């Protein structure tokens, strides 16, 4: 692990520990959809916080109908086998993420939510800091993003060094996974014979979402 990545891991763990010092577990949410960034974020949480404490947090996924079966199955497997049965709140499918979060926070009054957002993500570009309040119109809580300053290469180097399981879609050319209707294999990973290299061979953040038709 490079000195730069070690520094980023340490900064992420410090951010996590600081949040848990400032807020009760019942006030903390964890957004987990099973994508590569959320998995790495969750592994950092598991390293920094005990399972009984995490179990008191609201670990949730905002589901949608147009989801890859592979991602849905991986998420269920991960929570059962890796996270040792930690509870996952399933927020029902809706076309509006904002509405889904309003519904969730009506049931669970959260003050802070851990997210796998990085600053090179479309939504991350609207954030200036790793911990920041939501924008007007969204439920009022802090967005805490332990991976905010990580690159896509950092995510994959850490994943492979720490033997972290990931969804099988990343093995076959998908570098960023969204709705199945607008997510394709990344053309930058296509080999001359038509097959695709795995996502961890893509090291450029700017090319990470080349397979996504919409943001």
- Give the 3-state DSSP-derived string for 146-201, with helices as H, strands as E and coil as C: CCCCCCHHHHHHHHHHCCCCCCHHHHHCCCCCCCHHHECCCHHHECCCCCECCHHH
| Total number of domains constituting the chain | 2
Q: What does the alpha-carbon distance between residue 36 and residue 38 come to, in Å, rounded to a whole number?
A: 6
> Residue 161, class by beta-carbon neighbours within 10 Å (0-12 exposed, 13-18 middle, 19+ buried)?
exposed
pLDDT of residue 145 exceeding 60: yes
Residue 52 lies in a domain: yes
Characterise 34 by phi-psi region: left (phi > 0), alpha (psi -120 to 50), beta (else): left
Q: What does the alpha-carbon distance between residue 120 and residue 39 come to, in Å, rounded to a whole number?
A: 17
User: 135 with 110, same domain?
Assistant: yes
pLDDT of residue 215 exceeding 50: no
> Buried b / exposed e across 185-197, counting CB within 10 Å, b at 16+?
bbebbeeeeeebb
Query: Which of 14-18, 35-39, 91-95 is the least confident region?
Result: 91-95
Which stretches does DSSP call E strand in the chain? 28-31, 58-62, 89-91, 112-114, 131-133, 142-144
User: 35 with 116, same domain?
Assistant: yes
Residue 179 lies in a domain: yes
Q: How many residues does the chain have?
A: 215
Supply the range of the domain harboring residue 16: 3-144
Q: What does the alpha-carbon distance between residue 110 and residue 131 come to, in Å, rounded to a whole number?
A: 15
Q: What does the alpha-carbon distance between residue 115 and residue 25 come to, in Å, rounded to a whole number?
A: 15
User: 136 with 166, same domain?
Assistant: no
Residue 214 lies in a domain: no
User: 140 with 51, same domain?
Assistant: yes
pLDDT of residue 116 exceeding 90: yes
User: 160 with 199, same domain?
Assistant: yes
User: 91 with 30, same domain?
Assistant: yes
DSSP letter at 207 equals G
| pLDDT the model gives residue 95 | 62
Q: Which of 119, 110, 132, 123 is nearest to 15 (CA)?
A: 132
Residue 90 lies in a domain: yes
- Convert the pLDDT of each residue in 125-144 to its tens digit: 678 899 999 989 999 999 99
- Convert the pLDDT of each residue in 55-90 to its tens digit: 999 999 998 888 999 999 999 999 999 999 899 999
User: 60 with 126, same domain?
Assistant: yes
Q: Which of 34, 18, 26, 88 is nearest to 53 (CA)?
A: 26
């Amino acid at each position: 692990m490079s000195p730069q990545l070690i520094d980023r891991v340490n900064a992420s763990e410090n951010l996590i520990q600081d949040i848990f010092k400032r807020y009760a577990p019942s006030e903390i949410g964890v957004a987990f959809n099973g994508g590569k960034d959320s998995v790495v974020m969750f592994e950092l949480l598991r390293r920094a916080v005990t399972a009984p404490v995490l179990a008191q947090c609201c670990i949730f996924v905002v589901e949608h109908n147009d989801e890859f079966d592979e991602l849905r199955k991986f998420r269920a497997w991960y929570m059962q086998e890796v996270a040792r049965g930690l509870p996952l709140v399933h927020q029902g499918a809706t076309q509006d993420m904002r509405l889904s979060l309003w519904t969730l926070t009506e049931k669970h009054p959260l003050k802070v939510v851990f997210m796998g957002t990085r600053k090179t993500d479309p939504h991350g570009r609207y954030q200036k800091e790793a911990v920041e309040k939501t924008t007007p119109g969204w439920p009022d809580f802090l967005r805490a993003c332990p991976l905010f300053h990580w690159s896509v290469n950092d995510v994959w180097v850490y994943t492979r060094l720490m033997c972290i399981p990931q969804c099988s879609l990343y093995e076959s050319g998908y570098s960023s996974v969204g709705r199945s209707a607008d997510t394709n294999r990344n053309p930058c990973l296509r080999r001359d014979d038509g097959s695709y290299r795995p996502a961890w061979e893509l090291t450029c953040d700017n090319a990470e979402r080349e397979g996504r038709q919409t943001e």
